[in-house]
Amino acid sequence: MHVINGRGGLPMLQIQTPWSAAEIYLQGASVTHFQLHGEPPLLFLSEQSRFEKEAPIRGGIPIIFPWFGKPEGRTLQHGFARIRNWELVEVRKQTDGSVLVHLSLPASAELLAVPLEYYVTVGRTLMTELVITNFSDREFHCENCLHTYFTVGDIKQVSVAGLQGVEYLDSLDGRTRKQEMENAIRFTGEVDRVYLNTPHAVEIHDAALRRVIQVAKEGSASTVVWNPWIAKAKAMADFDDSEYQRMVCVESGNCTENALHLAAGQESRLKLIVSSASF
Ligand code: BG6
């Protein structure tokens, strides 16, 4: 498997397995495409995305680290991991036919002793694992999130299940704490919420594509649900006005009150497993 020039001339890997195809950009270690043969893509990628150095890619799985959103005193939204160039360490075909890609973000001036490793396994499912190791001699505080954009047929026919009873921070209401009452979250306007203490899987039911996407995870206490809807879609230069209808973000990470506090020598493993079934 070779690194080729992807969009905008950015280095990219193309992966084929007996079940699926995927694309990974070294910028941000961004998985921009994952598709099971015979199905529409599982990941959504905006047609208007920029593919420019130091610019985030609009779609796929941007890696949010070391902060989520724009905390006070920060100018860069969602941290720098999604816009840095990661090193490709290895691409390995495994005995079961899946392909494992290992990428690394070495320690830098920004992250003196906290290198990141990212493992992407492309096969019947898509698995990604972000490993953060605190090699410093003091506690390290950070947030992380695999900001996954999923393809849906029609957002008005989508529901997200698995968050009933959970407390969330409503980012559209100054991060006010609320409780999810619905067994299935439906979309009739902009949604931007951080569901807290949610280590379990959630499901995206897509009636238009007759598909259920399962978002399973490990090492993640937060689930972010986001759809920009009409006005925000129009305001985003790297997103088509109508694309809000065909995507939903269900993000797995450790954000806000679930931020990570890694002791010296401690590591965190954040794992995402995406699979789908037709109905
Ligand atoms: C989500 C946030 O995770 O990311 C939203 O909850 C934000 O508030 C969205 O709008 C997209 O962020 P960005 O920086 O990629 O435009």
Domain count, the chain: 1
Q: Which atom of ligand 1 sits closest to the CA of residue 236?
A: 16
3 state SS of 233: helix
Q: Is the CB of 226 under 6 A from ligand 1?
A: yes
How far apart are the CA of 95 and the centre of ligand 1, in A? 38
How far apart are the CA of 190 and the centre of ligand 1, in A? 12
Q: Which atom of ligand 1 sits closest to the CA of residue 62?
A: 15
Low-confidence residues of the chain, pLDDT below 70? 1
What whole-number distance in Å separates Cα of residue 194 and Cα of residue 79?
Answer: 17
What whole-number distance in Å separates Cα of residue 218 and Cα of residue 93?
Answer: 24
Whichever domain contains 239, its CATH number is 2.70.98.10
Q: Is the CB of 28 under 6 A from ligand 1?
A: no
**pLDDT value at residue 108:** 83
**pLDDT value at residue 111:** 81
What whole-number distance in Å separates Cα of residue 247 and Cα of residue 89?
Answer: 31
Residue nearest (by alpha carbon) to ligand 1 atom 9:
226
Q: Is the CB of 205 under 6 A from ligand 1?
A: no
Catalytic residues: 147, 251
**pLDDT value at residue 168:** 98
Residue nearest (by alpha carbon) to ligand 1 atom 10:
228
Residue 83, amino acid: I
Q: Is the CB of 214 under 6 A from ligand 1?
A: no
Domain with 143 in it: 3-278
CB contact at 8 A, 98 and 123: yes
Q: For residue range 162-202, what is the model confidence (pLDDT) as tens digits?
A: 999 999 999 999 999 999 999 999 999 999 999 999 999 99
What whole-number distance in Å separates Cα of residue 257 and Cα of residue 194?
Answer: 10
